[in-house]
Amino acid sequence: MFAKIISILVLVAMAIAIAGCTSLWDNEPTPTPTRISSPKPKPIPTLAAPPSSPATSQKSLAGGTAPLVLAVKTTKPRGLADGDFETPNAGSRWITYGNAQSLGSWLIEGEVDHVGFIWEAACGTQSIDLNGTTPGGISQDVVVTPGKTYHLRLAVARNPYQEAVVRKMEVRWNDAVVGTIALNPDGNSHTDMKWQWREYTVVSTQEENRVRLRSLTPGASGVMLDCVALLTEEEATATPLPTPKS
């Protein structure tokens, strides 16, 4: 009997102890979770539309970026350019240019020789022979004022080889022949070319006109050409023709 009472008291004591522990746990404050604030994302700036430009970029349908396409407006300079044939450098002899090649601002037809300082030039140190190994010519499109009168001026001489042959050439303004030149033997040489001057009056009926200078001489020696210029009436009056060399 006494043992049973002891067992009951032990069980009661254990129950009281367990109840006390539970009370302590219930009274312990529950920790408040810490709120971690993430930084606000910076707004992405809105780019203003770029100003209109000739340069445009395209994307291909297959993905990726297509090459940049540049829309370039080309404008031709007013007047005639490269009439003294000083560029490019022809050196100490000559360089033959073939059909459809460019010599400065000039377009070649047939063949012409770009002659360096081996021969006396009328302007600077270089000139051209309108014959390469075969007859040729040069042309250039010039932008001028429609309705105005101009003076087409040029210096000519004979290629000194084959003395007995008459050298001939033709001067065209657009499709019209404005002059034909024939140079008779005159005893010239590569150190004394005996340059002569010619001038033709032309009227521009449109803004863009073509100057065409063409050989009429067969073979490999033709008319030498230099100092080609297109002058207004005022410029021609202010700059008279040079005196031919004797």
For residue range 180-233, list pLDDT tens digits in order. Answer: 999 999 999 999 999 999 999 999 999 999 999 999 999 999 999 999 999 999
The pLDDT of residue 167 is 96
Gap between the Cα atoms of 131 and 108, Å rounded: 11
> CA 169 → CA 2, 78, 137, 138, 221, distances in Å?
153, 26, 9, 11, 12
The pLDDT of residue 151 is 97
Helical spans, DSSP H, in the chain: 2-27, 233-238
The pLDDT of residue 54 is 36
Quote the DSSP letter at residue 131. B
Q: Which positions of the chain have pLDDT values less than 50?
A: 21-74, 246
Gap between the Cα atoms of 152 and 201, Å rounded: 6
Output the pTM of the full model.
Answer: 0.69
| Cα angle 69, 70, 74; round to 5 | 145
The three-class DSSP label of residue 203 is strand
221 CB-near residues (< 8 Å, 6+ apart) = 129, 131, 159, 161, 162, 165, 167
